[in-house]
């Protein structure tokens, strides 16, 4: 594997006292499974932790495995390779960001048409939608009880989306982590 | 209105008078500017409708007289030589040129609402001729020439402002298309050239031409003869002119069916058939020729004759701001940002965009449009961020697969179409009317519209104008 | 704005989808006459009424589906029908 290079090339001054944080987690190992078989017992819109890895049903026929390389490899052992199944390494092709803060849903509501209330998108919910006009896979993945979202987009849109999220989060006191 | 009492109200009255007089052609500077250098073409048969004059206005004001009807309100008769369905610019221009160029005056224009209630009163009033295909260029150049002499021909001030037209390029490939268009234009003697961002800035100082913009301006296609015109006056001018020559206009007259005989379809409609008249909400009317000029409703009307058209209907939205001091001297178009803007003589900014992304017959505005429009305009002109939108509206566009119109004869004898005008029908109105009139009078397809006949789709000979017509207004 | 009922994602703003157009059936390219083929390419009913059409959920599930919409009022009715083919039988 070539050495990983994030799409985020600008440098930002972090503010540890901020009330909302955006971090670049693009280096996370990402594995995409496209298949006409049911995988991991997960239907579109759900996610589940398998060992140290996170498996997300991002589309009706598509699953995403996120985590450290060994964790993703371990989870990949559970792929049902019957039917028409493709497994694609996505680590270098996608940017992955984490948005954390009590008002994270408020930020997303500004730039995305999805209902981010707990009733519609509870912890673990997975969806795909336009965020700041960029197609993203979005996973509700709270940290220590604080609302948090993982956002994945094409690498080439990474820097733009990162800046768009910082811009939209200005009113919520956002900072890079 | 002309309460000419001497006193503090007098100046105000004069100011109001000026506002009233100007659109009617009394301060004719706009007209004379527009007509200079234009090819004078229309040799109108017979007299013109009377001229509006300042003396007449004052005299009527002092005598307290009201103004006569601009066109007659006559009962619908049971037979005409030609029935034109649709009372917009295209239908009225066709009627006008039938009467003036060919002496065919037993003509009725039917509209289900009021004249100019469709796209003719909803467009953003931009005219230009810098198209991409040689067929398109020749056609729109003729239209621009007719617009240039219209104030004189119709004796009504259409306030043509030949202010120049800029089509911005934001990428190398867009710039390449601009060069392509400029070369096609130059071959046909159209004033059109590619200019660099600094020259763009000189013409329109309020544009952000810096290279650090999200979509930096890489250059522009500059077309000095392009401009804006008062679309209502064009509608009223043609209606008044046609009426003067004996054509009848019938508003609130909806065509419910087209009566055909001998066709291969049900009720004698369809291929091989012949039109005998129309059925309206005000009774049946017979006519050997029925012309479809109904833009967004084109397929609904042509279905009544059993003619299928390659047309889908999509609304195009537009919006206007509050009036401010005049600062925008040219029409600015950005295809990449899906927006175009001009400033009216009253100081309002008029915006338009691309057609809505799904077919429908609904003319309600949407928030998606306003939001996208504001974002794009602010990329081009950050200085207008504090301006407020006053209103937004939509008109129905009859989109064809190749962004060129469908004109002339159909497989049903006597049923003609002048439709498929998409987002650029207004600028084509005069020439379309002139050519359709010739088509009807001579029963032959004029050379200028040969390329636009319906048969081109079956023959696979499309006229691709998307590069210059999709958003570029 | 139009809320389009995607059978997989639920109601979505139309800006997240692409309107493919009227659901029409594709003739057999080996058997169709040029006239039939060009009708398939270019001719649409374009009614101002209820109409079955195909949408593609670009930003969401990336699935094609069919749904009935009234082009005069922009209302949707009946459940949307999943389908991976454009123009295939529902």
> What is the C-alpha separation between B342 and B470, in angstroms, rounded?
18
Residue B50 and residue B141 in one domain: yes
Is C90 within the bounds of a domain?
Answer: no
Residue C14: pLDDT band (50, 70, 90) is: very high
Last residue of a domain, one of B343, B366, B399: B399
Nearest CA in chain C to B357: C19
Most confident among A119-128, B11-20, B52-61 (mean pLDDT): A119-128
Q: pLDDT exceeding 90 applies to what percent of chain B? A: 74
Collect all residues of chain C within an 8 Å Cβ-Cβ radius of residue A135.
58-59
Tokens of B430: 């005069």
Residue-range domains of chain A with CATH: 20-26+93-176 (3.30.1360.120), 29-89 (no CATH)
* pLDDT value of residue B274: 97
Structure confidence by residue, pLDDT tens digits, C57-66: 999 999 999 9
* pLDDT value of residue B4: 39
Residue B335 and residue B383 in one domain: yes
Structure confidence by residue, pLDDT tens digits, B4-48: 344 444 444 444 444 444 444 433 333 333 333 333 334 444 588
Its domain, for residue C16, covers 3-82
> What is the C-alpha separation between B242 and C48, in angstroms, rounded?
31
Is B259 within the bounds of a domain?
Answer: yes
Cβ–Cβ < 8 Å for B455, B449: no
Is C35 within the bounds of a domain?
Answer: yes
Is B72 within the bounds of a domain?
Answer: yes
8-state DSSP, A3: P
> What is the C-alpha separation between A82 and B257, in angstroms, rounded?
59
* pLDDT value of residue B176: 93
Identify residues of A whose CB sits under 8 angstroms from chain C CBs: 44, 59-60, 113, 127-130, 135
Q: Which of C19, C41, C73 sits opposite B362 (nearest CB)?
A: C73
The predicted complex's ipTM stands at 0.89
Mean pLDDT of B264-280: 96
Residue B135 and residue B176 in one domain: no
Residue B289 and residue B248 in one domain: yes
Residue B94 and residue B109 in one domain: yes
Structure confidence by residue, pLDDT tens digits, B285-340: 999 999 999 999 999 999 999 999 999 999 999 999 999 999 999 999 998 888 99
Is B116 within the bounds of a domain?
Answer: yes
> What is the C-alpha separation between B243 and B115, in angstroms, rounded?
13
**Which phi and psi (to 5°) does residue B386 adopt?**
-95, -5
* pLDDT value of residue B214: 84
Distance from CA of C23 to the nearest CA of A (A): 22
Mean pLDDT of B150-160: 93
What are the b/e assignments for A15-48, b being 16+ CB within 10 Å?
A: eeebebbbbbbbebbbbbbebeeebbebebbebe
Is C89 within the bounds of a domain?
Answer: no
* pLDDT value of residue B473: 45
Cβ–Cβ < 8 Å for B283, B76: yes
Distance from CA of A3 to the nearest CA of C (A): 30
Is B4 within the bounds of a domain?
Answer: no
Of the candidate ranges B202-206, B465-469, C26-30, the one whose mean pLDDT is the lowest: B465-469
Residue B128 and residue B28 in one domain: yes
Nearest CA in chain C to A62: C61
8-state DSSP, A114: S
Q: What is the CATH number of the domain that holds B189?
A: 3.30.9.10
Taking an 8 Å cut-off on Cβ atoms, the answer to whether C8 and A44 are in contact is yes
Domain count, chain B: 2
* pLDDT value of residue B353: 87
Structure confidence by residue, pLDDT tens digits, B283-299: 999 999 999 999 999 99
Which residue has better confidence, C86 or A113?
A113
Collect all residues of chain C within an 8 Å Cβ-Cβ radius of residue B362.
71-74
Residue B17 and residue B86 in one domain: yes
Q: What is the CATH number of the domain that holds B293?
A: 3.50.50.60
Last residue of a domain, one of B399, B431, B452: B399
Residue B452 and residue B391 in one domain: no
Nearest CA in chain C to B358: C19
Domain count, chain C: 1
Strand partners, C6: C10
Whether C36 contacts chain A with CB within 8 A:
no
Collect all residues of chain B within an 8 Å Cβ-Cβ radius of residue C18.
357
Residue B353 and residue B454 in one domain: no
Which of A63, A108, A129 is best to mutate for the C interface (most C CBs within 10 A)?
A129
Residue B277 and residue B317 in one domain: no
Its domain, for residue B26, covers 11-157+231-311+402-469
Whether C9 contacts chain A with CB within 8 A:
yes
Q: How far is CA A21 from CA A17, A66, B324, B404, in A?
A: 10, 20, 42, 52
Is B2 within the bounds of a domain?
Answer: no
Collect all residues of chain A within an 8 Å Cβ-Cβ radius of residue C15.
113, 130
Q: What is the CATH number of the domain that holds C47?
A: 3.30.2270.10
């Amino acid at each position: 594997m070539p050495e990983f290079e994030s799409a985020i090339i600008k440098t930002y001054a972090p503010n540890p006292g901020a009330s909302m944080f955006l971090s670049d987690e693009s280096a996370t190992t990402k594995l995409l499974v496209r298949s006409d078989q049911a995988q991991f017992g997960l239907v579109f819109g759900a996610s589940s932790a398998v060992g140290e890895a996170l498996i997300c049903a991002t589309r009706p026929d598509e699953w995403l495995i996120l985590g450290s390389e060994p964790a993703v490899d371990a989870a990949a052992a559970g792929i049902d390779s019957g039917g028409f199944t493709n497994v694609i390494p996505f680590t270098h092709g996608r940017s992955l960001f984490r948005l954390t803060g009590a008002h994270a849903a408020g930020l997303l509501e500004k730039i995305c048409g999805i209902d981010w209330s707990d009733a519609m998108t509870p912890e673990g919910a997975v969806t795909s939608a336009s965020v700041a006009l960029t197609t993203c896979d979005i996973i509700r993945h709270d940290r220590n009880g604080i609302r948090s979202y993982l956002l994945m987009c094409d690498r080439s849109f990474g820097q733009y989306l990162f800046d768009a999220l910082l811009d939209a989060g200005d009113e919520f006191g956002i900072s890079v982590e | 209105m002309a309460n000419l009492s001497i006193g503090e109200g007098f100046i105000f009255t004069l100011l109001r008078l000026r506002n009233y007089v100007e659109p009617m052609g009394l301060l004719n500077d706009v007209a004379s500017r527009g007509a200079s250098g234009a090819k004078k073409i229309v040799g109108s048969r017979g007299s013109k409708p009377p001229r509006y004059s300042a003396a007449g206005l004052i005299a009527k004001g002092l005598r307290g007289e009201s103004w006569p009807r601009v066109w007659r309100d006559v009962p619908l008769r049971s037979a005409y030589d030609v029935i034109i369905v649709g009372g917009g610019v295209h239908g009225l221009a066709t009627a006008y040129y039938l009467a003036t160029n060919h002496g065919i005056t037993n003509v009725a224009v039917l509209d289900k609402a009021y004249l100019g209630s469709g796209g003719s009163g909803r467009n953003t009033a931009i005219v230009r001729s810098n198209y991409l295909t040689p067929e398109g260029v020749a056609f729109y150049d003729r239209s621009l020439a007719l617009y240039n002499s219209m104030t004189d021909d119709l004796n009504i001030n259409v306030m043509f402002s030949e202010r120049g037209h800029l089509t911005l390029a934001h990428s190398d490939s867009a710039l390449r298309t601009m060069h392509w268009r400029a070369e096609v234009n130059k071959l046909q003697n159209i004033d059109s050239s590619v200019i660099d961002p600094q020259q763009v800035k000189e013409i329109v100082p309020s544009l952000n031409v810096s290279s650090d913009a999200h979509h930096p301006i890489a250059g522009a296609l500059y077309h000095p003869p392009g401009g804006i015109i008062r679309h209502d006056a064009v509608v009223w001018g043609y209606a008044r002119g046609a009426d003067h020559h004996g054509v009848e206009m019938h508003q609130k007259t909806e065509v419910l069916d087209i009566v055909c005989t001998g066709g291969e379809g049900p009720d004698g409609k369809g291929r091989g058939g012949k039109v005998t008249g129309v059925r309206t909400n005000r009774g049946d009317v017979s006519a050997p020729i029925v012309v479809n000029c109904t833009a967004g409703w084109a397929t609904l009307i042509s279905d009544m004759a059993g003619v299928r058209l390659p047309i889908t209907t999509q609304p195009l939205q537009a919006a206007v701001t509050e009036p401010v001091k005049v600062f925008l001297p040219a029409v600015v178009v950005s295809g990449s940002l899906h927006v175009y803007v001009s400033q009216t003589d009253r100081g309002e900014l008029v915006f338009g965009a691309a057609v809505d992304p799904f077919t429908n017959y609904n003319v309600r505005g949407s928030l998606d449009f306003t939001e996208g429009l504001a974002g794009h305009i602010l990329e081009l002109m950050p200085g207008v961020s504090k301006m407020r939108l006053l209103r937004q509206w939509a008109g129905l566009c009859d989109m064809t697969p190749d962004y060129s119109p469908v004109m002339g004869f159909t497989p049903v004898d006597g049923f003609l179409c002048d439709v498929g005008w998409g987002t650029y029908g207004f600028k084509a109105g005069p020439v379309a009317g002139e050519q359709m009139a010739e088509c009807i009078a001579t029963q032959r397809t004029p050379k200028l519209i040969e390329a636009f006949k319906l048969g081109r789709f079956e023959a696979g000979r499309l006229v691709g104008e998307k590069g210059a017509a999709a958003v570029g207004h | 704005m139009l809320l389009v009922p995607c059978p997989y994602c639920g109601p979505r703003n139309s800006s997240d989808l692409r309107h493919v157009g009227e659901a029409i059936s594709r003739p057999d390219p080996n058997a169709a006459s040029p006239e039939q083929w060009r009708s398939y390419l270019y001719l649409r009913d374009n009614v101002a009424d209820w109409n079955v059409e195909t949408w593609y959920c670009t930003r969401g599930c990336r699935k094609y589906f069919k749904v009935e919409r009234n082009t005069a009022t922009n209302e949707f009715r009946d459940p949307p029908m999943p389908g991976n083919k454009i123009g295939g039988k529902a």
